[in-house]
Amino acid sequence: MVGRVSRSAAALGALAVLGPAAGCGGPVAAGRSGDLTVWLTVDAQESWPDLVSEVNDRFRRTHPTAHVTVQYQQWTSKNQKLDAALSGRQVPDVVEMGNSETTNYVVNGAFAPVDPARFDHSGEWLGALRDACRNDGKTYCVPYYAGPRVGIYRTDLLHQVGVDHAPRSYPELRADLDKLKRKFGAADRNFSAFYMPGRYWYAAMAFVKDAGGEIAVRKDGRWQGSLSSAASVRGLAAWKDLLDAYYVGDRSKDNGDEPAVVGQGRVGMFYGTTWEARAATDSRSGGSPQLRGKFATFAFPGPSGGPLPPFLGGSTLAVPAKSAHRDLAQDWIRLFTDRTSQRRLIAADTLPNNTAQLREVAAGGIDGPAAQAAGRGWMTPLAPGWGAVEKSQVLQEMLQDIATGKRSVADAAQAADRRIDAVINEN
């Protein structure tokens, strides 16, 4: 999924002097030889190892003298290891990236361009994944899978307050939350009708988008913060109003332990990914197995009247420019992201990389609302310095100031814009 960019100045310097990337090339001839090293994150190892094995088998049938080694990486250390590899000569041939991680690598020449025409459904790739791969008219990575956020609710608790379906509008959402708060909050002062910790920036920025605002905009060739615009402030105010009304808890924390908190049984609704709903019932994630079968998802309505536009987290696959097997690497990615592989991801409760196959996701299943929301998905600004913005925690600190009442929405947004402006245009 999406990750944070954290690379050293030395590593960035190394990326900048890689030289011209190789061309896209045509179809790969069968029978090519080479030792291909593929870096995937542990998500593939834990959730769809059979797909990896099947793709490797298919690849070997086309290239019987080629050898594929898949190495699984942790999200927290992946980029540091990649930076070190890119500074030397021994590089992986395929790397998985979070979609918000790619921009800085692309603009510094770390990845070779790929030919979209070689990949299934490339004309229908989800926009937030597709755009993360593009720069100056070329494509530098291939969308892999998507993970938007949705509303998740306790069906048993909603039933106890006389509601038998998910909210279908923002007023209905607020009415349902009022009922949960009255019944369960009165008896338990630690009960949150809606879980929304103060530093949960993916959620807060969805409200900014819903109001027509932006985190940053490009003007006259340069990026600048836009959180203090009237629309963005309106969205942030709506987010704070929801938090003030229904969240009971620490406003200076993020959502990193959301499944464990929800698993304690003192939350009526929350905003997250479908895997978090499953994790809330899994003791390995701090959740409670007693809650199995008691969660359902819905497309979260926004104050504007439409569905809340979700941050579209997801992964992409790229070929380092230093790879000695760029064509073979593209061919492996082609198989790993083709329509057959995407169907396997759907079967593993993961959303595909394209709008055409979103229609194959069961509307009544746990991922149905996520598939509905994915079409409105957005991602972080495609600015060269976005990695520095994330690393500096600008958004989280702004939201904490708003959530705790340290600053007004307008003052906190203006301060955040100044901090964003200082770094967002820097490679």
Range of the domain at 66: 9-148+312-374
Residue 112's CB is within 10 A of a number of other CB atoms, namely 25
DSSP annotation of 183: I
**Per-residue model confidence (pLDDT) at position 275:** 86
- Are residue 286 and residue 337 in the same domain, yes or no? no
Radius of gyration of the chain from its Cα atoms, rounded to whole angstroms: 22
- Find the mean pLDDT for residues 219-247: 97
- Please indicate, yes or no, whether residues 325 and 280 belong to a single structural domain of this protein: no
Nearest to 414 by CA among 403, 426, 402, 427: 402
Q: Reduced to 3 states, what is the DSSP secondary structure of residue 189?
A: coil
Does 268 or 19 have the greater pLDDT score? 268
Residue 258: closest CA among 275, 241, 233, 235: 275
Contact 86, 80 (CB under 8 A): no
Q: If pLDDT is split at 50, 70 and 90, which confidence band does 313 have?
A: confident
Do 281 and 169 share a domain, yes or no? Answer: yes
User: Which residues have C-beta within 8 Å of that of residue 190, sequence separation ≥ 6?
Assistant: 248, 249, 266
Q: Tell me, what's the pLDDT at 329? A: 97
Closest CA to 286 of 316, 248, 330, 256: 256
CATH of the domain at 300: 3.40.190.10
Q: Which residue has the higher pLDDT, 26 or 42?
A: 42
Which token pair is 128? 């937030």
Above pLDDT 70, what percent of the chain?
A: 92
CA-wise closest residue to 252 among 208, 200, 319, 207: 200
Q: Is the pLDDT of residue 14 over 50?
A: no
Whole-number pLDDT of residue 198: 97
Q: What letter does residue 351 receive in the DSSP assignment?
A: B
Does residue 78 belong to any structural domain of this protein? yes
Q: Which of 122, 119, 92 is nearest to 105 (CA)?
A: 92
Mean pLDDT of 292-314: 94
Q: Side-chain half-sphere of 280: how many Cα atoms within 13 Å?
A: 31
pLDDT tens per residue across span 46-100: 999 999 999 999 999 999 999 999 999 999 999 999 999 999 989 999 999 998 8
What pLDDT, on a 0 to 100 scale, did the predictor assign at position 17? 31
Tens of pLDDT, residue by residue over 380-393, are 998 989 989 999 99
CB neighbours of residue 30 within 10 Å: 10
Whether residues 13 and 136 share a domain: the answer is yes
Average pLDDT on 386-410 reads 96
Quick count: other Cβ atoms within 10 Å of Cβ 13? 12
Q: Is the pLDDT of residue 182 over 60?
A: yes
CA atoms of 7 and 379, how far apart (whole Å):
20
Are residues 359 and 414 both part of a single domain? no
pLDDT computed for residue 23 by the predictor: 40
- Name the strands in the sheet holding 192-195, side by side, starting at the edge strand that comes first in the sequence: 192-195, 267-272, 150-154, 295-298
Contact by Cβ (8 Å): 122, 339: no
Query: Left if phi > 0, otherwise alpha if psi is -120 to 50, otherwise beta: which for 59?
Result: alpha
Q: Looking at the 3D structure of the chain, how many domains does it have? A: 2
Mean pLDDT of 300-316: 94
List, for residues 317-366, the tens digit of each pLDDT value.
Answer: 999 999 999 999 999 999 999 999 999 999 998 999 999 999 999 998 88
For the chain, what is the mean pLDDT?
91
In a domain, residue 196? The reply is yes
- Whether residue 367 is found in the same domain as residue 392: no
Pseudo-torsion of CA 184, 189, 192, 198, nearest 10°?
Answer: 170
What does each C-alpha distance from 304 to 82, 170, 201, 281 come to in angstroms? 41, 8, 19, 32
Residue 1, in any domain of the structure: no
Q: DSSP letters of 156-214?
A: HHHHHTT--S---SHHHHHHHHHHHIIIIITT-TT-EEEE--TT-HHHHHHHHHHTT--
pLDDT at 116: 97
pLDDT digit string, tens, across residues 190-222: 999 999 999 999 999 999 999 999 999 999 999
3-class secondary structure, 302:
coil
Kindly state whether residues 259 and 349 are assigned to the same domain.
no
Co-location of 186 and 265 in the same domain: yes
Q: Is residue 143 within 8 Å of residue 129, measured between CB atoms? A: yes
* Same domain, yes or no: 251 and 319: no
Mean pLDDT throughout 10-25? 35
Determine, yes or no, domain membership for 257: yes
- 115 burial class (0-12, 13-18, 19+ CB within 10 angstroms)? middle
- Kindly state whether residues 137 and 181 are assigned to the same domain: no
Amino acid identity, position 400 = Q
Q: Are residues 103 and 160 in the same domain?
A: no
The pLDDT assigned to 12 comes to 31
What are the pLDDT digits (tens) for 123-156? Answer: 999 999 999 999 999 999 999 999 899 999 999 9
Q: What amino acid occupies position 298?
A: F
Q: What are 35's strand-pairing partners?
A: 67
Q: What 3-state DSSP class applies to 224? A: strand
Q: Is residue 59 included in any domain, yes or no? A: yes
Residue 351 lies in a domain: yes
Domain-embedded: residue 262: yes
Based on the fold, state whether residues 61 and 175 are members of the same structural domain. no
